[in-house]
Amino acid sequence: MDVQTDFLVIGTGIAGLSFALQAAQLGSVAVVTKRKKDDTNTNRAQGGIAAVLDQVDDFALHVNDTLVAGAGLCHEDVVAHIVREGPRIVRQLVDWGVQFTLTSQGTLALGREGGHSHNRIVHAHDLTGAEIERALLAAIQQCPDVTIFENHVAVDLITEHHLPGRRPARHVTCWGAYVFSAEENRVSRFLARRTVLATGGTGQAWRHTTNPDIATGDGIAMAYRAGARVGNLEFMQFHPTTLYHPHERSFLISEAVRGHGAVLINDRGERFMDSVHPMKSLAPRDIVARAIDREMKTTGKPCVFLDITHVDPDSVKARFPNIYNKCLSLGIDMTRQPIPVVPAAHYMCGGVVVDITSRTDILNLYACGEVALSGLHGANRLASNSLLEAVVMANGAIQDIRQSGLARTPLPEIPAWDDSDVFDVEEWILLRHDIEEIRDLMWDYVGIVRSDVRLRRAHHRLELIWKEVEEFYRRAKVNAELIELRNMACVAALVVRCAMERKESRGLHFNTDHPLSDERFHHDTLLRARPIRRRKSMPPPHSINGKISEYHEIPGVSTPLRGEF
C-alpha cells in the first residue's frame, strides 16, 4: 500500500510526536514506527527535562553548565536558544497533557542531576519519558489528520538517486521514504512534501546499552546514504549507572538518584568520586563513567555500587517508585543496601547535521531528537537536556515550514519498489553472527576507553562487515532484521571513522594514546559520502531493485570535513 501525505515522520518518540501534533495543523501526517508506537527511547527516559524555573536559577547558569559538560564543542548560539526555550517547552508539554510531579504547594518539583549547578529537572517521578509518551500519544489520537503506522521500518529515503535517468542535482531533495511493512511483508512508497527523521539513537550497536531494541541508528545511516553530512559520532555517552545483574538486561538507574543524595562507592565502601572531581558523584557523565571503568579495572570487580541507604527510605520510595520496585524484584532493597551498577551505552551526541530549524543538507528533510547533531551537546550531553532539545528543534522545523510554505506542486514519478531480481536467502545465521560481532567489537574496542590499536582493529573488521552486509542486502529480499543490520553496520563503521579522526581526548572520547585535549581538534568531526564517478558499464541504480544509491560507495568512503558547521 503506497501512501502520500504532506508530512512523513519517522519515529514516535518525543521529537516525532511533538512535530506531528503541530504539523497536523498544516496538512496530513503519516508517522511510521518500527515496532509498537510507544516502543521508543523516550518511553524509557527516567530523569526529566532541564528548564530554568527557579528564581535562584537563571539562563546563564544553565548555559554555562551545558558548555562545561560539552568540553568545548557546544555551539553557544544553539545552547542559548534551546536553554531560553526551556520554560515555554515545559508549559507546552503541560498543555498537551503531561502530568509532571508537583510539590506540596502545587508547583513543579525540581530535581538535580550530574553537571547541573541548580535544581532544574522537571520530572514525573522516575518515569518522565513514559508520562510524556502517554500524553503525546493521547493528544495524537485527537488529531484526525495524523495516522500512525506501527511495525513499519523505513528502508531508505527517496531522493533523485531513485529517479530513472535523472542525475542528482547540486542539492539533493527528499520526497519521502521506501518503507517495509512487517505485517504485509513488502516495501511501499511513503511519499511526502516534508520528511522528518526522529528515529532516535544507536545504542544497539554496543553490547551493553540502556536503549530499546529499536535503537539501531536507522536515521543516521539513511541520511548518510542519501548524501547528508553526519558528525561527532565518536561521542557516544555511556550512562555511568545501569543496574548490574548477571541475568538481567541493562536497566537504567537514573542520575536523579545521585541528585537525591546517592553516592558511588567501591566494594570497600570508599567514595571514590570524592577524589576525582569537585562535584563528586554528581560530576558530568563522561567523568563518572571513566572513573567507574578505572575503578573496576583497578579492583578487578565487575561493578561498583550506588549507595542511597543514608537517605530517608520513604522519600526514596516516593521519588523513585519504578527503580525501587525493579531492584526489589531482583532481591535488592535500595533503601537498605547499595545498588550494583556499571556503565552502558546510552545516548549518541552526534548525528545528522542540522541547523537551528532542524534542516539537514537535503532539501525537504528535517531531523530532530537524538538522531540529529544540532550543536547543543558538544562532546558530552548534560543530563536532561535531550528531551528539551527534541521539542525545541521540532518546533523549529514547524516554524521553518510555516515561513517557507508547503508547496503543492506535483511530486515526481517515484518508481515502485522492485524486488523481482532478489530472493529469500537462507544464510540468516551469518547475519545474526554479524550483529553479535558488531556489538562485541564496539564494546571492546570503541567503548569508554579507546586506543589507536583498538580503533584500527575495529575499523578493519567493521568495514569488511559493512561491505558484506551491503552485498547481501543487494541480492536478498528485505525484512526488518536485515534493514536494522544494514544500518548498524553502517553507523558502527562511521563511529570508528570519526573516532580515528580525533587524535585527542575530549568529553566522551577518551584515547589512551592521546590522553589530553588538543586545540587542533577543537571542531566537529563531519563526514559525507563521496559521490561515485560512474563508469559506462555501470547499470543505472534504479534498475537493480531500487536498492543502490548512486551517491555513496560501498562500503562508503567518507570525506573528513574540518571546522564547525
Active site residues: 285
| 29-32 and 146-149 beta bridge pairing | parallel
d(CA 303, CA 338): 12
d(CA 164, CA 182): 27
Query: At 312, is the secondary structure helix, strand, or coil?
Result: coil
Checking 440-446 for CB contacts under 8 A at 24+ apart, the result is 440/207, 441/492, 442/205, 442/206, 442/207, 442/345, 442/492, 442/495, 443/206, 443/207, 443/208, 443/345, 444/207, 446/206, 446/236, 446/492, 446/495, 446/496, 446/499
How is 551-562 classified by DSSP, letter by letter? Answer: SS-SS--B--B-
> Which residue type, as a one-letter code, is found at position 202?
T
Set of cell numbers at residue 354: 542540522
**Which of 9, 70, 42, 125 is closest to 378 using CA atoms?**
70
**Which of 142, 161, 135, 157 is closest to 224 using CA atoms?**
157
Set of cell numbers at residue 369: 531528537
Q: What is the DSSP letter of 177?
A: E
- What residues does 186 pair with on adjacent strands? 181
